[in-house]
Amino acid sequence: KKIEFLPECQSTNDELMRRARQGTVSEGFLLWADHQTGGKGQRGNTWVSPKGQNLLFSLLLKPRKLLPKEAYLINVLAGLAVHEALEKFLDLKNVSLKWPNDIYLGGKKAGGILLEAGVTNSTIDKLVIGIGLNVNQTDFELDTATSLKGVMGYDVNREELLEQIICALERYYLLLNAGSKDTILRKYHDVMMWRGEVHWFRSGDEDFAGEIIGIDQQGRLVVKTNEQTRRFEVKEISFVR
């Protein structure tokens, strides 16, 4: 079996990682839930999503030669897959990816990706890609959040959308395994939010402005300030505005 639906689950990422450790699921297995009681977001945040409205799923990959420092590429291709599904299947023009792994519609967040890795002998042997995408939700606690319905005005079929995302993801994964890392990075730059713009950042206790240049070969954010070009890991920097 390659796909399983759960009406409720604590976190599809945790559940899938548990099963992967037990060895009861293989590469390509997809777990999706209608509701999570303990959904997890990036940076230790929770991911809250009302029942019956959105997409919450996790996919298991078992990359063969992926080093931990290359894991960001999976984040990149998961983002590209969601981007492509929304653009091609729903004809949305204003989808962008906010580094490192948020999905934005217009200026608002519509989804996110949470990648979790199992490492043995310093290579990644299990990778859980968790994606949460706001589909038909219409009430939001934060006015910085939106959904597909929020921008299009009508309901979207979740199963069909899921299928499109998985198809695109598979294609990008094959592309990566065929060695087309540069093609993938180029595509990411094309859809990267705020690229070429000047924004404010915080790193440690320092605030500074800089132009977003893109990401480098290690997935670090490249920012150009007046003085220099700087590179940051995910945990070293945050956006102020």
Least distance (Å) between residue 209 CB and ligand BTN:
25
# of chain residues touching ligand BTN (CB under 6 A): 20
Identify the residue among 17, 81, 97, 114 touching ligand BTN (CB under 6 A): 114
Q: C-alpha distances in angstroms, 174 versus 144, 154, 181?
A: 34, 33, 11
Taking the least distance from each CB to ligand BTN, the nearer of 47 and 173 is: 47
Q: Which stretch binds ligand BTN (CB under 6 A): 76-84, 109-117, 143-151, 209-217?
A: 109-117
Taking the least distance from each CB to ligand BTN, the nearer of 5 and 198 is: 5
Which tokens in the block code for residue 151? 């921008």
Q: Which of 49, 161, 173, 166 is nearest to 111 (CA)?
A: 49
Taking the least distance from each CB to ligand BTN, the nearer of 112 and 150 is: 112
Applying CB under 6 A, does 58 fall inside the site for ligand BTN? yes
Q: Phi, psi (5° rounding) for residue 227?
A: -90, -35
Identify the residue among 25, 30, 47, 105 touching ligand BTN (CB under 6 A): 47
List the x/- string, 7-46, binding to ligand BTN by CB under 6 A. Answer: ----xxx----------------------x--xxxx--x-
- The number of residues in the chain equals 241
Applying CB under 6 A, does 137 fall inside the site for ligand BTN? no
Cis peptide before 68 (omega within 30 of 0): no
Applying CB under 6 A, does 100 fall inside the site for ligand BTN? no
Applying CB under 6 A, does 238 fall inside the site for ligand BTN? no
Which residues have a Cβ under 8 Å from the Cβ of 153 and sit 6 or more positions away? Answer: none
Taking the least distance from each CB to ligand BTN, the nearer of 60 and 210 is: 60
Which residues have a Cβ under 8 Å from the Cβ of 12 and sit 6 or more positions away? Answer: 6, 31, 32, 33, 36, 56, 57, 58, 130
> What's the CA gap between 106 and 95, in Å, rounded?
7
Applying CB under 6 A, does 134 fall inside the site for ligand BTN? no
- What angle (nearest 5°) sits at the alpha carbon of residue 140, between those of residues 236 and 144? 40
Amino acid in the structure at residue 167: C
Applying CB under 6 A, does 118 fall inside the site for ligand BTN? no
Q: Which of 159, 160, 67 is nearest to 119 (CA)?
A: 67
Binding region for ligand BTN (CB under 6 A):
11-13, 36, 39-42, 45, 47, 56-58, 102, 112-114, 130-132
